[in-house]
Structure formats: C-alpha cells, structure tokens
Structure 1
C-alpha cells in the first residue's frame, strides 16, 4: 500500500525539482574608468545544465570593448539520467497501481505478474541508487561551476587590481538539493518494497514448502527413532514375566516376605 501511494508522489517530486529548475547569478565589474563598468551582469542557466553553452558578455575595462564568455562544464548526462529514471518510475508505479486494484486475479495468474513485478522493482531500486548518486555528484559540480567567485576568475577585467569585481547574487540551489533527497528516498522506497513483492512470487511459496517438508521429515525421523520405542517392554528386560516370582537367596518373591531365621539354624 505504501508503494502504491508514495512511489508516484516521490517520483513526481524528484523529476519536477530537477527537470523544472532554472536559476541564475549576478556579477558586478567596476572598472577604474567608471564609464566602462557593468554592475549588473546576469547569467541564467537551467536544466539540463549544459553550462558550456551558457554565454554572457563582460566588460574588459579597456575602452568599450566587451568579451563573450561561457560557463564551464556539461552536466546534462547525470541530470537527464536522473530525470529519465524518475519519469519511467512514475509511469510504472501508476501502471502497477491500476493492475493491483483492477486486475488482481490476472496479476496472480501463472505467477507471471509477481515475477515481472519483482524483477522490475529490483531494477528500479538499482537505477535509483545509481542515478541519485550520479546526480548528487553532478549537482556538486554544478554548484562549483556556477559559484560567482569562480565565474569572476574567467573575466580578464578581474585580473587587474585596479578593477573591482564582486558577486551580487548567487544561484539558489534549494530545489536541486531537494531533488537529490527525493532520489535517495525513492531508492529506499523501492528497495524496501522488494521483500513485499518477493512474497507474492512462487519463489517465496516454494521456499516455504521446502522448509515445511524439511521440518516434517525431521519430525518423522525422531518419531521413528529410538526415542519413541517402548524401552521398558520385553526387550528392555524390566517387564519380563516371572522375574519377581523367583526365589532370590531364599526370599519368597511371590509374597515379598523375608522368612525369619530361627536361632540355632
């Protein structure tokens, strides 16, 4: 039930917070010649974070000439991989929900449905782990590449001490941080669901039958062994007839009385 409720919801949060991101930063270059300064250099970027394609103009503080620069790095592979996993996980969880509710008998027929569901669940758990880890590393690189202090180092005007280069606004990465969190939450959710799906498969049923058969054989072996034999029967010698009716050293076994011995005998 938790899988049916939370899997589509967590998947939506994962790809929405990553795939729908757009942000930017603002820089300021104050040249020695104030007429050449640019105090509002806006640089915008968005998913899928092909930063090397993000261009912006910056003053050189050498007359009116400006230079065209670009950010460094291409982090689209990890971001797109993460979003793709989230989208397919969302679609599969919706389809599985429909099957669980409306086609339960068809799902259990021939044990094919639970087996497919188990395999897909294991695959998605692995993909969520790999995708979330890759995107966490990619996000760390994106933060470095879009750090205003790092971007200022790309400008030739900022290499001259007579010019003042300052960061005005840093990009807000809270939604991207949230996407990583939901990525690992999805991994925990799908990995935890492996056991519940496995119990629906024939592998779990056959394992239970095998364990029951083993216990039955062991119990029958104990019943047939020496623990259940009548050790006090004729073979044991304790119930042998007439053993108490014999005379032992002159005692009368039948009456159990010891004859008195007369003096002088």
Structure 2
C-alpha cells in the first residue's frame, strides 16, 4: 500500500519534530536577512561651523557599489562633489545564505509531507532513508559554509556603512578642515539574528542527521550483523 495516509504521530517523535523545528528556523533565517533595509546618516562638519548630512541607504542584497552616497554634482561644505557610490559588495554571500535557507525551508515541507502521509512507505524503503540522510548531511555542510560567508559579508557591510568606511569613500572627508561622522545608525539587529539562526540551523540539521541515520539500513545492519567467527560460543565439555 503506497497511498497517502495522514498520521500526525511522527511529529511526536524526534525525526518529525526536529524537521518541524528546521522549517521554523529556516523561515527566521531568510526572513531576517532577505527583507532588510536600513539607513545611516553621515554628518559632515564643515570648517566654517556648518553641518551637512548625507544619507547612506543600503538594503538586501547589499550591492553597495551601486548605491549612490551622493547623486550627481552636489556642493557640500563649499566643495563640489561628483557622483559617489559606497564601496563594497556582499551580494554573493547574502544571496547564497538566503538561497540555502529557502532550499531548506522547501525541503522541510516536502519531508514533513512524506513523514505525515507516507511514513509507511518511508519505513519499508531502503532508498528513502538513505537519500534523506545524504541530503541532510549535505545541507548541514551548506549551512556551515553559507553562515560563515554571510557572517564575513555582514562585517563588510558594517564597515562600509560606518564612519571609517564612508570617510574613506568620500574624498571630501579627507580634507583637514572637514570631519565626517556617522551620527545615526540603522538597526542591524535582524542581520545579527540572521547569522545566529544560520549557525543554529547548522546544529539543528546536524542533530536531525542522527535520527535520519537511525532509519537507514546502515544503522540497522550495524546492530543486527551476526557475530564474527572469533566470537562464536564454544560449548564447555563436562
């Protein structure tokens, strides 16, 4: 019988419950990163006592080199400034991180469908649990790589939008009589949380890999293999 049989009992077992946790943590991972938009305000202290402000807007996927800090020819502190873009590009690491989170989100949904509707087929199949284990192990590795890459990418974003990074980008700030300082920062709490959820997902998926492994024939053969010749019981002669 291979038909669909809805059964919620797998959610009471680690195999199904952890998969549900994976689904939730994947949602938080890509949701906290993919929807981010923020703005830092750079205050330019002119030599004559005047202050001027510039807006450093940035958002996912953090292709900062295409975001203008100053649009067109503008006069700032009596200095003519041409079109200036921010420096940096964390697009690859951010999109890679979000892509892995979405893949894991979709995989968790499919796995939950199999567990809740086709567990009788899953249990009686050798190929299903093995494929589940191999995919889970690969995703553990991808979570490690993508989370580490995004953590580094986030550091680059913070530097590029901070006082030091913006001052290095804007030639005006290198004048001895002019001081540049970021006076208002965007709230990057959600981006920090996304990195935390990335590594949390790695540990949750690694934890889940053990329970998936227990469903494979590799685990069952390990504990059901017959004893070797050297361990055979020899009857005692009386």
Deviation of residue 142 (structure 1)? Answer: 1.2
Task: Give the aligned partner of residue 9 of structure 2.
Answer: none
CA contact (8 A) 1:25 1:148 kept: no
State the distance in 1 between where 2:35 and 2:63 align: 14
The TM-score with structure 2 as length reference comes to: 0.85
Q: Residue 107 of structure 2: which of 77, 81, 92 is its match?
A: 92
Deviation of residue 203 (structure 1)? Answer: 1.2
CA contact (8 A) 2:69 2:84 kept: yes
Task: Give the aligned partner of residue 151 of structure 2.
Answer: 136
Task: Give the aligned partner of residue 113 of structure 1.
Answer: 128
CA contact (8 A) 1:148 1:170 kept: no
Task: Give the aligned partner of residue 45 of structure 1.
Answer: 58
CA contact (8 A) 2:27 2:101 kept: yes
Deviation of residue 194 (structure 1)? Answer: 1.2
Does residue 61 in structure 1 map to residue 77 in structure 2?
A: yes
Task: Give the aligned partner of residue 91 of structure 2.
Answer: 76
Runs of 4 or more above 6 Å deviation:
none
State the distance in 2 between where 1:184 and 1:149 align: 29
1:217/1:104 CA distance change after superposition, 3 Å: farther
Deviations 1:196-240 (A, max 9, x none): 111111111112121xx11797242x32xxxx112xxxxxxxxxx
The TM-score with structure 1 as length reference comes to: 0.77
Deviation of residue 3 (structure 1)? Answer: 1.5
Task: Give the aligned partner of residue 237 of structure 2.
Answer: 229
State the distance in 1 between where 2:150 and 2:107 align: 21
Task: Give the aligned partner of residue 172 of structure 2.
Answer: 157
My pick for the range that moved more, 108-117 or 137-146, is 108-117
CA RMSD of aligned residues (A): 2.0
Count residues with an aligned counterpart.
Answer: 220
CA contact (8 A) 1:31 1:162 kept: yes
Unaligned 5+ runs, structure 1:
231-265
Q: Secondary structure at the match of 1:190?
A: helix
CA contact (8 A) 2:68 2:86 kept: yes
CA contact (8 A) 2:34 2:61 kept: yes
Structure whose CA Rg is larger: 1
Unaligned 5+ runs, structure 2:
1-15
